[in-house]
Amino acid sequence: MITESDCVAQDEQDPLADEAAKYYLPEGVLYFAGNSLGALPVAAQKRAVSIIRDEWGEKLVGGWNSAAWYSSPSRTGAKVARLIGADADEVTVTDSTSVNLFKSIIAAMRLNTQRKVCLTDREIFPSDFYIMQGIEELLGERFTLKAVQRDCILDEIGDDTGLLVLSHVDYRTGDVFDMQSITRRVQEAGGLVLWDLCHSAGILDISLNEAEADFAVGCGYKFLNGGPGAPSFVYVAKRHQESISQPLSGWMGHANPFAFDETYKSAPGIRKMLCGTPSIIAMGCFEAALDELLPVSMVAIRDKSTKLTRLFIELMKERCADFGFTLISSENDDIRGSQISYTHEQGYAIMQALIANNVIGDFRAPDCVRFGVSPVYLSYTDMWRAVDTIKTIMETETWRDFRGQKKEAVT
Ligand SMILES: Cc1ncc(COP(=O)(O)O)c(C=O)c1O
């Protein structure tokens, strides 16, 4: 049996133990929703105040040059690139993930118009799917969306596959796809792959360059801690950059925005993925958050994440086996991302009871409770405390007080 002292002993050996001081969390809160919205880096708070007061306030419009706002998408992109194994000039930061998906999917499909099939996982994150449905409606016969069961995806790759769109980590179970082998398989069949890295950036030790990935997108607000609605990143492999064109041809992606030409001429390189004016305050928070993550090795982050999620699963087995939870995350360390998910028929009420008791995870319909684990601000002892709270809530049945509650807009 694992004891609380075992967890304390692991914390004493933890090379990342000092990282937590960089993040603000309310007193007593155990935060397990970093896979939805990462915690606030103290540096991001300072940066937001400074951008508003010292830059916007003092420099006014001059901030575009003197505070380097104009170059912030590429500067921030270069920082994201280091965390996802890409070159600095292969990533930029702009728009939301959904918008970047729209631009990237069309850009990828335009590379080979002979192939009309866009293949995807039927259970991919809904926004990805909605965007593909929207593109299908827009392009008509030029685009065929083929959504198949996760397990059958590899069998469906064929000589008509133009693009495979996959989320690297499944948002419900946290299962990780093998980026390298899938990318190779699609490319050998003459297609391209777009990876959604929302649940992998900043938490998995990935290398887009090693996997020879074609396209990728991901959000800034989960494990990258960039803040609510932080801008998203978009990656295009260098070998595709010259040939692609994306459909949202706004002025920030123009070769010379301030020439105010009558005709659109795209910027060279990754900058052509930009559309409109970047959101500078949000970008500043995101960049400050990245500056906190960059000195930490992704190998160390992945290592601690794996140990924490394994510990959580073991503690649940030992202490909460009788309460009707079904683990849907993999017990294989290589396949499990940084979240542990269970189904439970009373999932929503249980999660509400946990939140009321300062253990903040989230709920995904119809019955999934998720515990996202961010190793930069969670400890081994936190795993113990969280499972202890679950045990108490189930034993005392306090979750019953939360039954029948009207679901909030965001669960
Ligand atoms: C896997 C995945 N893809 C896409 C999105 C959508 O991102 P956005 O709201 O930034 O467009 C999310 C949001 O949570 C997500 O988890």
Atom of ligand 1 nearest to the CA of 199: 1
d(CA 174, CA 56): 40
What percent of the chain stands above pLDDT 70?
Answer: 100
Q: Give the span between the Cα atoms of 30 and 385, in whole angstroms.
A: 8
Q: Which of 171, 200, 203, 411 to mutate to test the pocket of ligand 1 (most atoms within 8 A of CB)?
A: 171
Please say if 334 is a catalytic residue: no
pLDDT band of residue 147 (cuts 50, 70, 90) is very high
Q: What is the C-alpha separation between 324 and 333, in angstroms, rounded? A: 23
Confidence of residue 78 (pLDDT cuts 50, 70, 90): very high
**Catalytic residue status for 103:** no
Going by C-alpha positions, the residue among 312, 408, 409, 397 that lies closest to residue 346 is 397
Percent of the chain with pLDDT over 90: 97
pLDDT tens digit string along 80-109? 999 999 999 999 999 999 999 999 999 999
115 among known catalytic residues: no
pLDDT at 180: 97
Q: Is 205 left (phi over 0), alpha (psi -120 to 50) or beta?
A: beta
How confident is the model at residue 181, as a pLDDT?
96
How many Å separate Cα 128 from the centre of its chain?
13
Q: Is the pLDDT of residue 406 over 90?
A: no
Q: Which residues line ligand 1 (CB under 6 A)?
A: 96-98, 125, 127-128, 167, 171, 196, 198-199, 219, 232
Distance from the alpha carbon of residue 198 to the mean position of ligand 1, in angstroms: 6
**pLDDT over threshold 80, residue 411:** no
Residue 82 among the catalytic residues: no
Q: How would residue 407 be classed by pLDDT, with cut points 50, 70 and 90? A: confident
- Which amino acid appears at position 358 of this protein? N
**Most ligand 1 atoms within 8 A of CB, residue of 93, 125, 232 to mutate:** 125
Given the residues 103, 302, 319, 370, the one annotated as active site: 370
Mean pLDDT, range 50-56, rounded to an integer: 98
**How confident is the model at residue 403, as a pLDDT?**
86
209: Cβ–Cβ under 8 A, 6 or more apart, which residues? 85, 86, 87
- The dihedrals phi and psi of 15, each to the nearest 5 degrees, come to -70, -15
Structure confidence by residue, pLDDT tens digits, 312-329: 999 999 999 999 999 999
